[in-house]
């Protein structure tokens, strides 16, 4: 799940790049760059720059979902992730991408998922959650606690891609498949684009569906509704409070891996 989360956030960051920034990332880290990026076993990419270049190349620079608004916002007239560098005299000031800012943003957007995963491990396996000295150490402490990273390394060599772990041979083929699925969503609806832009920024705690004050409404709404798998009205039905799906209890149509639906 972390692999998917990583590429979701990389895509989100890519949708807020300008054409010039896309050009720079592809020139520095794309498949045609010199030297070309190396494939890292189990991880695929070495750092966020290579991952962003990969997503941009697979999704035609995210043209259909890229926006002119900037995820990072503006501070003092200059964007986060962009730092000025003085060019030759008479050429003006040239903007240069700062990948460290994008890396920090990615780690920050990963934290809600990592926190929930850490709590699950704590409650299920009774593992003690590590103490975290400061906000800047939280991401690293959590990925080590979850054993997404197991080897020690110097801090300057650590980044979020270190926690990626794919089966051998799928390091790039699986992310490519995710990109293909997104690319096949044509036309790109505003709701899809809005989800990509806002996902992971506003975290909502998981919760069950709310029940009505009058249970009669619940029974009336689901009365005589057929099962979505067998299309028959269940003799005994149940409602999933996560997605609202009606299922047959103790019937073979809703059986998965020899387990029937049960309350």
Domain spans of the chain? 1-69+97-198, 206-262
Q: How far apart, in Å, do the first and last CA atoms of the chain sit?
A: 27
* Helix H or strand E encompassing 95: strand 93-97
Confidence of residue 258 (pLDDT cuts 50, 70, 90): low
Contact 172, 44 (CB under 8 A): yes
Would the pLDDT of 91 be above 50?
no
The pLDDT tens digits for 54-77 are 999 999 998 888 764 444 443 333
Nearest to 146 by CA among 157, 135, 154, 138: 138
With a pLDDT cut of 90, the percent of the chain lying above it is 44
pLDDT of residue 228: 76
Confidence of residue 87 (pLDDT cuts 50, 70, 90): very low
Report how far residue 114's alpha carbon sits from residue 120's, in angstroms, rounded to the nearest whole number.
Answer: 10
Report how far residue 68's alpha carbon sits from residue 59's, in angstroms, rounded to the nearest whole number.
Answer: 17
Would the pLDDT of 125 be above 70?
yes
> Can you read off the two tokens belonging to residue 160?
């979020």
258 or 15: whose pLDDT is higher? Answer: 15
Would the pLDDT of 202 be above 70?
no
Helix axes 48-58, 173-183, angle to 10 degrees: 40
pLDDT of residue 263: 44
Report how far residue 80's alpha carbon sits from residue 98's, in angstroms, rounded to the nearest whole number.
Answer: 8
Would the pLDDT of 93 be above 60?
no
Nearest to 36 by CA among 54, 63, 21, 22: 54
- Residue 208: strand, helix, or coil: coil
């Amino acid at each position: 799940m972390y692999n998917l989360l990583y590429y979701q956030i990389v895509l989100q960051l890519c949708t807020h790049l300008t054409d010039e920034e896309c050009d720079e990332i592809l020139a520095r880290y794309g498949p045609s760059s010199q030297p070309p990026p190396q494939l890292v076993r189990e991880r695929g990419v070495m750092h966020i720059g290579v991952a962003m270049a990969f997503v941009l190349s697979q999704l035609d620079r995210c043209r259909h979902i890229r926006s002119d608004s900037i995820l990072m916002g503006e501070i003092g007239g200059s964007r986060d992730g962009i730092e000025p560098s003085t060019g030759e005299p008479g050429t003006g000031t040239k903007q240069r991408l700062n990948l460290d800012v994008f890396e920090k943003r990615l780690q920050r957007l990963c934290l809600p998922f990592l926190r929930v995963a850490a709590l699950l491990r704590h409650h299920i396996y009774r593992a003690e959650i590590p103490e975290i000295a400061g906000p800047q150490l939280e991401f690293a402490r959590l990925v080590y606690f979850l054993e997404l990273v197991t080897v020690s390394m110097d801090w300057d060599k650590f980044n979020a891609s270190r926690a990626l772990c794919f089966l051998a041979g799928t390091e790039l083929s699986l992310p490519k498949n995710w990109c293909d699925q997104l690319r096949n969503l044509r036309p790109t609806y505003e709701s899809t684009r809005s989800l990509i832009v806002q996902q992971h920024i506003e975290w909502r705690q998981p919760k069950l569906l709310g029940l009505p004050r009058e249970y009669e409404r619940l029974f009336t709404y689901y009365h005589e509704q057929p099962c979505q798998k067998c299309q028959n009205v269940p003799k005994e039905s149940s409602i999933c409070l996560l997605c609202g799906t009606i299922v047959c209890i103790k019937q073979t149509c809703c059986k998965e891996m020899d387990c029937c639906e049960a309350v």
